[in-house]
A and B are shown apart, each in its own frame.
Chain A
């Protein structure tokens, strides 16, 4: 014994609660290690250290996590700590949720589809003071614009944590600009605003197209005017205000909202603009951009062909068709109307998923990356016809795809 090296006794991580301390007092004559063993042998799940608990939680789908965090204070605190969830979501292969917001005044609610059990949930937006229109998702958050003004005023919310915050005013007041988003990492993002019409000047001139680009950075929390942009891009982005942007390989892309479709891109690094043509630009009934496996893709359908197609932009700037929307799914979305021109087809995408939809009740076609990296699968989402047993009337929606984020963001707390 005397020749042995000193024994290193490690102290294990454990959160000690008051009642446990009382038990410790009873055992004060015993070595502390025996006391520790007593606590552990009682299998106090509420005492499980943060790291393993956070890892267990990362395997739970958002609705299961929401119910688990309501169990006790330590579980609530763990689930609510931003860091633990932000780094883990996609690793656990939870598919994104489809979120639907009414486009007109059909109530201040969000309809959220849970892909794990194919159920629809209703989330109230009563924590948002003014009427808003959704623009796009950023991580688990939603970028919105206030509907009370014609000039663009942006805001961000998280419908799952019921947080809401306005962004600062733009440097130049504008209506109908194009809005683009870049997720820098799991916590920070940039919002780009390009073009739009500036206010009529007080001297008596009419309003004019605003050939400039501003960017908002969530870290610095202010808008920076980058530089002027070619007038033709400003005009096109304003007149044919695009729905969403897609960021791919250092370029922020927009596609015009109607035909003849063209794709415009802003190179973030070199700060210049470029343009791409679109296959069958004047015949497509709908067209939308998708980012897939690091490449820019286009999904679109014509009224002649039955199937909608997907093209990929190759290295030499050509479009190569490499996939079709499965005919059966396309037909279900069209609802027997047969032709792509007969319905108002909408499209939304995020990294790893794309969704075609028309309104709340008709069902949605989803194309998403599955567990096997690089492989994409087609799915059908049954539309929302009833909620909590009550029949719903059908109405047009703006759809988004997002990974629900259940922790409070410090960004939204400011």
Chain B
């Protein structure tokens, strides 16, 4: 059994066989660590990650459909939760979870205009007005909305 400690100092005892899905934890276990503090993963996120790893630890054919259903539901989370998950999964090197998170997050970005992306992702625009104008001009074709811009010739 391995003990994980979240940034909130909550501890979780989990079987080693489940935790080796995390490349980071696997390396530490190979170095004989049994107590692993995770200062950048909070309790809420760690619980979700453990839930994911438990579900994916037992991969038999009959369970594959269940796992797919679980994965689909697992991705139905708020953006804040997805951020914490992708940050933690990246830190913990859980590639199967990352491969699930990437397209889910990309789905929240696609087909939206830049300003909508900024609002949804709480991103502050740190370009100067001049820089922003130049970037939009360089990629004008992608920023075309409904406005008609003059003649073609």
Asked whether B66 is an interface residue with its Cβ less than 8 Å from the other chain, the reply is: no
Asked whether B110 is an interface residue with its Cβ less than 8 Å from the other chain, the reply is: yes
Asked whether A36 is an interface residue with its Cβ less than 8 Å from the other chain, the reply is: yes
Asked whether A203 is an interface residue with its Cβ less than 8 Å from the other chain, the reply is: no
A354 to B42, CA, bound (A): 51
Asked whether A12 is an interface residue with its Cβ less than 8 Å from the other chain, the reply is: yes
- What residues of A have a CB within 8 angstroms of the CB of B143 in the complex? 66-67, 70
A392 to B153, CA, bound (A): 11
Least CB distance from A36 to B in Å reads: 5
Asked whether B61 is an interface residue with its Cβ less than 8 Å from the other chain, the reply is: no
- What residues of B have a CB within 8 angstroms of the CB of A61 in the complex? 110
Name which residue of chain A comes closest to B131, CB basis.
Answer: A73
- What residues of A have a CB within 8 angstroms of the CB of B91 in the complex? 10, 12-13
- What residues of A have a CB within 8 angstroms of the CB of B101 in the complex? 52
Asked whether A388 is an interface residue with its Cβ less than 8 Å from the other chain, the reply is: yes
Asked whether A64 is an interface residue with its Cβ less than 8 Å from the other chain, the reply is: yes
In the bound complex, do residue B84 and residue A121 qualify as a contact, i.e. CB atoms below 8 Å apart?
no
Stretch at the interface among A37-45, A139-147, A229-237: A37-45
Stretch at the interface among B12-20, B50-58, B118-126: B118-126
Asked whether A26 is an interface residue with its Cβ less than 8 Å from the other chain, the reply is: no
- What residues of A have a CB within 8 angstroms of the CB of B147 in the complex? 388
A390 to B149, CA, bound (A): 10
- What residues of B have a CB within 8 angstroms of the CB of A34 in the complex? 7
* A contact residues, range: 35 or more
A62 to B148, CA, bound (A): 22
Least CB distance from A180 to B in Å reads: 30
Q: Which of B68-85 contact A (CB under 8 A)?
A: 79-80, 83-84
A36 to B125, CA, bound (A): 23
- What residues of A have a CB within 8 angstroms of the CB of B114 in the complex? 67-68, 70-71
Asked whether A8 is an interface residue with its Cβ less than 8 Å from the other chain, the reply is: yes
Name which residue of chain B comes closest to A7, CB basis.
Answer: B37
In the bound complex, do residue A52 and residue B24 qualify as a contact, i.e. CB atoms below 8 Å apart?
no
In the bound complex, do residue B126 and residue A60 qualify as a contact, i.e. CB atoms below 8 Å apart?
no
In the bound complex, do residue B152 and residue A390 qualify as a contact, i.e. CB atoms below 8 Å apart?
yes
* 7 pairs, A vs B, C-beta closer than 8 Å: A36-B40, A52-B87, A67-B117, A67-B139, A70-B114, A122-B152, A390-B151
| Chain B residues close to A by CB (< 8 Å) | 7-8, 24, 28, 31-33, 35, 37, 39-40, 42, 79-80, 83-84, 86-87, 90-91, 98, 101-103, 105-106, 109-114, 117-118, 121-127, 132, 135-136, 138-144, 147-149, 151-153
Known: A62-B142, A64-B106, A68-B114. 5 other contacts (CB 8 A): A7-B35, A41-B84, A60-B106, A66-B143, A390-B148
